[in-house]
Amino acid sequence: MALVATNGIRLEVHEHGTGPAVLLLHGFPGTSYSWRHQIGPLADAGYRAVAVDLRGYGASDRPEAAYHDSSVIEADLIGVLDALGIERAHVVGQDFGSMYAWNLAQQHPDRVRSVLGTVPHGGEPGPVAPSVGFAAVAARHFLHLHYFQEQGLAERDLGGPHLAEFLRRLIWALSAGGDLLSVFGHPSAGTSYLDALPPTPPLPWSWLAQDELDTITSSFAAGGPGRELAGGLQAYRAADADWALARQRAGTPIGQPSLLVMGEHDPVRSFAPPDLEQQRTWLTGLQDVVLVPQAGHFVQQEQPAAFNDVLLRWLSR
């Protein structure tokens, strides 16, 4: 691991192996540790695995900011590739990392060989800013997207002594065994995200041990009081800025070979179902949509063998 200077900050980067580079981009809640089951197999298969703690996460810098739009992340990542002497990389993203992967491929096609995401491409932006839609939904029931917009609220409710419980509940809710959609059954007024998330079964789960959850929790706690969730909250609070950016960039398709790999039980499928032909409107190089059985939102962690098989077969093309 190493701290790499890029775009005015330092990002922690974990590298293993030699050969064609595979840039691994995590989401929320996650860090480079989210790819612990992929780094070794990629290296063994003859690839250079590069997993990054994005700004605001893990051991990377956490600049004070209300938000950062995805163009900032793109500049961070191009700086990492430059610093490591990587001309072109295969890019693999999970959750927010998928959005960054799609955007990097669109805006820097000369640096991206292929792109794999676990969340569908968002398509052309609509005429209304996301925060307006979030508020309308939150008038009916709890919506985490709206809840995260208020500065200081989630920091108070979910950080400090609440951090470990929040992460455990959120990770379970997003998994194949959880029920994230149940949070929408709560009213918005007076409800924190921790209140809305259901309790979890005791650890270990079939795919996550206590020591692994402890490692994840420690990586967030490293930010210090009020900064534990900085990376994720800044990303959520960039919704309107990312929408405006997407409107400027509309009409530029992503032509590199691409693949969408989702957990069969990923709750994202409930409100963003992947339609192959529709996705090909924006991902003109899209080869397929693969659903991994018995996996939820953390497909590469919940079913690592199945995910790695898909990933390595994809890269070998």
Residues 67 and 167 in one domain: no
Query: Looking at the predicted structure, is the pLDDT value of residue 271 above 90?
Result: no
Length of the chain: 317
Q: Which domain does 158 fall in, by range?
A: 130-236
Please say which residue of 236, 261, 284 terminates a domain.
236
Q: Residue 205: what residue type?
A: W
Residue 306: band (very low, low, confident or very high) from pLDDT cuts 50, 70, 90? very high
Residues 32 and 107 in one domain: yes
Query: Looking at the predicted structure, is the pLDDT value of residue 307 above 80?
Result: yes
Strand bridging mode 21-25 / 89-93? parallel
Measure the CA–CA gap between 33 and 30, rounded to whole angstroms.
7
Measure the CA–CA gap between 298 and 289, rounded to whole angstroms.
16
* Tens-place pLDDT, residues 209-232: 999 999 999 999 999 999 999 999
Query: Does a structural domain hold residue 203?
Result: yes
Measure the CA–CA gap between 71 and 111, rounded to whole angstroms.
15
Q: Active-site residue among 61, 69, 95, 266?
A: 95
Q: Are 312 and 41 in contact (CB under 8 A)?
A: yes
Query: Does a structural domain hold residue 277?
Result: yes
Residues of the chain with pLDDT > 90: what percent? 93
Query: Does a structural domain hold residue 227?
Result: yes
Query: Does a structural domain hold residue 244?
Result: no
Residues 104 and 215 in one domain: no
* Tens-place pLDDT, residues 25-82: 999 999 999 999 999 999 999 999 999 999 999 999 999 888 899 999 999 999 999 9
Query: Does a structural domain hold residue 245?
Result: no
Q: Residue 221: what residue type?
A: A
- Find the CATH number of the domain harbouring 27: 3.40.50.1820
The token pair that represents 311 in the structure block? 């990933």
Residues 13 and 161 in one domain: no
Query: Looking at the predicted structure, is the pLDDT value of residue 272 above 90?
Result: no
Query: Does a structural domain hold residue 79?
Result: yes
Residues 103 and 136 in one domain: no
Query: Does a structural domain hold residue 246?
Result: no
| Structural domain count of the chain | 2
Query: Does a structural domain hold residue 241?
Result: no
- Active site annotation includes 297: yes
- Active site annotation includes 95: yes
Stretch 10-27: mean pLDDT, rounded? 98
